[in-house]
Amino acid sequence: MTHRITLIPGDGIGPEVSEATRTVIAAAGVSVDWDIQTAGLEVARTEGEPLPARVLESIRANRCALKGPCGTPIGGGFRSVNVTLRQSLDLYANVRPIKSLPQVESRFDVDIVIVRENTEGLYAGLELMIMQGVAQSIKLTTERSSRRIAEFAFRYAESHGRPRVTFVHKANIMKISDGLALDATRKVAPLHPTIELREMIVDAAAMVMVRDPNSLGVLVTENLYGDILSDLGAGLVGGLGFVPGANIGDDAAVFEAVHGTAPDIAGKGLANPTALIQSAVMMLHHLGETAAANAIHKAILRQYEERKVVTGDIGGKAGTSEFTAEMCRLVREIRETAG
């Protein structure tokens, strides 16, 4: 079977890690017809907008996309490509597994998952200037979205053999908005009796993440808290360069590297493609290509265990092409062994 998948290479190191990931997917024996669509900072300069309608149309048609990092101006300019994608396609569930790789970060052995509501909260972008020098940002919370992200988290926990869901909130202060989300989660929990619901205030959750992260299981939370805790979790396992991400809705899914564009090393062949390759593993599972996904995952673990060919960000000497070639070799070896 040939899968038609939208590919958004992105900015900076995006095209390099995207090409590396395509090469690894091919080595795993998966046939893909890539629908390449450019988006991001460079596209905004040439086409006047960072996310042209053609990109959204492609994802709607293909129902699956792989995306490299896209640049976003700070404090002005155009709206984030990521936020626009999530809201335009109703990709309401952001899923970030935070799992340690061998010999990358020795302080912890982390294995948790953060499920973040992806379309509401402060990231809804409802901002206005009330008067000169006074800005207001409105936090949007609906029962529908709160309930469906809770349902997603509990179903994820059930299907992945995880016994606990921790709902992270600030309902002690934001009693109406976070209170609504907390109440919706409490109503969902009894429908999943095999999964324990734990409730935790966001600042306490941040502390627990750096002391006993695995006790949290699957974290489910609103948009801003999830964004911050996801990056905190990435710090526990070596950084954003090692963490995969997915944005999932009922009609489409976008799998992405969550790190930045790293313009300082763009075009130098130094980028570590691990994050996007790990995101591709999630994508292949989503597409039902389980054997290929497992082969790539095993190859990632072996490459980091052996540390013979790793990139400079973790003390190695390999560039992007050498790292990719070694991973492809391991993937083919694992496939042949599996028969």
Closest CA to 189 of 159, 154, 148, 161: 154
- Catalytic entry in 123, 156, 225, 304: 123
Is there a catalytic annotation at residue 123? yes
Is there a catalytic annotation at residue 203? yes
- Catalytic entry in 11, 156, 225, 227: 227
- Catalytic entry in 11, 170, 225, 304: 170
Tokens 């493609």 sit on residue: 273
Measured in residues, the chain has a length of: 339
CB atoms within 10 A of CB 132: 5
Tell me the torsion sign for CA atoms 266, 19, 254, 101: negative
| Cα(40)–Cα(199) distance, integer angstroms | 37
Tell me the torsion sign for CA atoms 165, 158, 297, 70: negative
Mention every residue, 6+ apart, whose C-beta is less than 8 A from residue 291.
335, 338
Closest CA to 145 of 77, 93, 96, 85: 93
Strand order in the sheet with 31-36: 31-36, 2-8, 64-67, 253-257, 244-248, 93-99, 111-117, 218-221, 164-169, 196-201
Mention every residue, 6+ apart, whose C-beta is less than 8 A from residue 60.
89, 251, 252
Is there a catalytic annotation at residue 99? no
CB atoms within 10 A of CB 78: 16
Is there a catalytic annotation at residue 170? yes
Closest CA to 258 of 279, 281, 272, 286: 279
- Catalytic entry in 109, 203, 212, 251: 203
The residues carrying an active-site annotation are 123, 170, 203, 227
